[in-house]
Amino acid sequence: MREKVFRDPVHNFIHVNDPLILELIDTREFQRLRRIKQLGVANTVFHTAEHSRFSHSLGVYEVARQIANHLERFPSQKLGDGGWKVAERQVLLAAALLHDLGHGPYSHTFESIFKTDHEKFTQDIILSKNTEVHQVLAKFDEQLPEKVASVIAKTYPNKQVVALISSQIDADRMDYLLRDAYYSGATYGTFDLARIIHLMRPVEDGIAFEQKGMATVEDYIVSRYQMYEQVYFHPVARGIEVILTHLLKRSIELFQEQKQQHLKIEHFVTPDLKPLFEYNVSIEQYLDLDDASILENINLWRHSSDKVLAELSMRFLDRKPLKSIEIRPETRQYLAKLRPLIEDAGFNIKYYTAENDSFDTAYDLYHPTAKHAKTQIEMLQPDGSLAELSTQSPLVQALTGRSYGNARYFFPAEMLMEQTTGDLMAPVYQEFQRYVHNGALTEIENEILD
């Protein structure tokens, strides 16, 4: 096959010389990822962060391709020697390309509201005989759909392949750090990808890194930490996410009310969203969903007769984020004083306030002692033994177990606006601002890059 090359701002070129990969790229299911943003609502803060899960997935494939080329220098010679099995290349590359296939629009907010699981949908899409992805995989190897799905499920018997797709330092994370840094305009996520790949060595239970390159791995860990602090957990983006969460919850409430009253609900949500609101969505229906599906409905709800839904929709579409303050153990008690003031100002605290804990997301810093610890990063010693990274690096040891992100209390921005003396509500706003600015709670976030 003649090689096909995709231009890419992160990897310069993405090379495809495998007929299987090219056919998978052309499937309906993979092309859908063009219509789903990689960073959800982050573009409301970082205005160039418009990249898609399609471009990220291609990038993960390219990183995996480079890794596979490198690991072929260390082939397995006999059973149990820990070498790389060249025959695993096809499974690795297909899993890298398809790992995000099941993401829905505004992925993490979407999952929390509609109780979906993108990894489960990824597996179901791959295993369903009705999907183009399944048919392409099965055409090349009848067992390939099951193999690729098991890599996503982390049950594939070859732990090296699983680690390269899902571990503390894998093809997925390496691409999204570089890609998100590039498109957000941040410089925190940069690290030496080529050097990290060069340091990789296959071992019996996964992948290790040569001890001599520990500084490069440290750089990756620090870059990841900084990206979560500065980009992924940005308080303004979280304020927009809270609005999206509340407006979707309100829309579901109204949908259920209309359904119970036997009203015509087809006018409330578009047909593609109706199965989702009924929590009974098939794979085929799920594949009809993308960012445009949600935006189309929010545009409709902007003109809803329900004032809460209409107002929240306006705030989301016109970028009117909720403001926030950090919640610390010693200041949490003051929230009880803020809530009635917000209600007195005319806001329903159910829809216009929220406690948002960034620790409760899918992201976490490398922490080998955590309850749900992921695969450890192992450093290959000169004598052939393995040592966990934090035991070798004082820098990583300092970061291990250190919390990042924070808990925040979100509320309408109007609560911080100056009020005229003639406004009867002025005392309410003044008292609220007194609590916020006089040290009862930490100061309002500084909206750098906003």
Distance, CA of 108 to CA of 116 (rounded, Å): 9
Q: Where are the domains of the chain?
A: 4-233+366-399, 235-321, 322-362+402-450
The first and second tokens of residue 127, run together, are 């295993």
Flag whether pLDDT at 116 surpasses 70. Answer: yes
- More confident call, 23 vs 434: 23
User: In this model, does residue 378 exceed pLDDT 80?
Assistant: yes
Tokens 């390219």 found at: 62
Of residues 337 and 74, the one with the higher pLDDT is: 74
Amino acid 446: pLDDT: 46
Average pLDDT over residues 364-378: 60
- Given this chain, do its domains 235-321 and 322-362+402-450 carry the same CATH topology? yes
Q: Which of 37-51, 173-187, 393-407 shows the lowest mean pLDDT across its residues?
A: 393-407
Q: Is 279 helix (H, G, I), strand (E, B) or coil?
A: coil
In eight-state DSSP terms, residue 123 is H
Mention every residue, 6+ apart, whose C-beta is less than 8 A from residue 340.
none
Of 64 and 115, the one with more pLDDT: 64
Residue 245 has pLDDT above 80, yes or no: yes
User: Measured between alpha carbons, how far is residue 20 from residues 103, 141, 160, 278 in Å?
Assistant: 22, 10, 21, 37
Give the rounded percent of residues in the chain with a pLDDT score beyond 90.
Answer: 65
What is the distance between the alpha carbons of residues 369 and 392, in angstroms, rounded to a whole number? 16
**Polymer length of the chain:** 450
What band does 368 get if pLDDT is binned at 50, 70 and 90?
low
pLDDT tens digit sequence for 415-437: 988 765 555 567 888 888 887 77
Output DSSP code: residue 84.
Answer: B
| CA distance readout (Å), 1 to 137, 141, 445 | 18, 18, 54
Mean pLDDT, residues 406-410: 87
The Cα–Cα gap between 178 and 446 comes to 25
User: Is 361 a residue whose pLDDT tops 50?
Assistant: no
Task: Name the residue among 24, 20, 163 with its Cα closest to residue 82.
Answer: 163
Mean pLDDT of the region 370-380: 71
CB of 311 closer than 8 Å to CB of 418: no
Question: Residue 382 pLDDT more than 60?
Answer: yes
**DSSP collapsed to 3 states, 138-182:** HHHCCCHHHHHHHHHCCCCCCHHHHHHHCCCCCHHHHHHHHHHHH
- Please give the model's pTM, rounded to 2 decimal places: 0.91
- Does the structure show a pLDDT above 90 at 1? no
3-state secondary structure of 6: strand
Contact (Cβ atoms closer than 8 angstroms) between residue 447 and residue 240: no
Residues 100 and 57: beta-carbon distance below 8 Å = yes
**Per-residue pLDDT tens digits for 260-274:** 876 665 567 899 999
Q: What angle do CA 205, 208, 211 make, to 5 degrees?
A: 145
What CATH code would you report for 4-233+366-399? Answer: 1.10.3210.10
- DSSP codes, 59-79: HHHHHHHHHHHHHTTSB--ST
Q: Under CATH, what is the fold of the domain 322-362+402-450?
A: Growth Hormone; Chain: A; (1.20.1250)
Per the CB < 8 A criterion, the answer to whether 401 and 369 are in contact is yes
First to last CA, the chain: 47
Answer whether residue 214 shows pLDDT above 90: yes
pLDDT greater than 60 at residue 362: no
- Mean pLDDT, to the nearest integer, of 223-236? 88
pLDDT of residue 359: 47
Q: Is pLDDT at 441 greater than 60 in this prediction?
A: no
| Strand ordering across the sheet containing 378-380 | 200-203, 206-210, 378-380, 386-388
pLDDT in tens, 125-166: 999 999 999 999 999 999 999 999 999 999 999 999 999 999
Indicate the average pLDDT of the chain: 88
Distance CA 204, CA 302 (A): 56
249 Cβ neighbours under 8 A, 6+ residues apart: 113, 351
Cβ-based neighbours of 11, under 8 Å, separated by 6 or more = 59, 62, 63
What's the rounded mean pLDDT across residues 208-228? 91
H-only helix segments in 8-103: 19-25, 28-31, 53-71, 89-98
Domain 235-321: give its CATH code. Answer: 1.20.1250.30
Q: In the predicted model, what is the mean pLDDT of residues 69-74?
A: 97
Which of 138-147, 162-171, 353-362 is the least confident region? 353-362
**Torsion-angle region of residue 259: left (phi > 0), alpha (psi -120 to 50) or beta?**
alpha
194 versus 115: the higher-pLDDT residue is 194
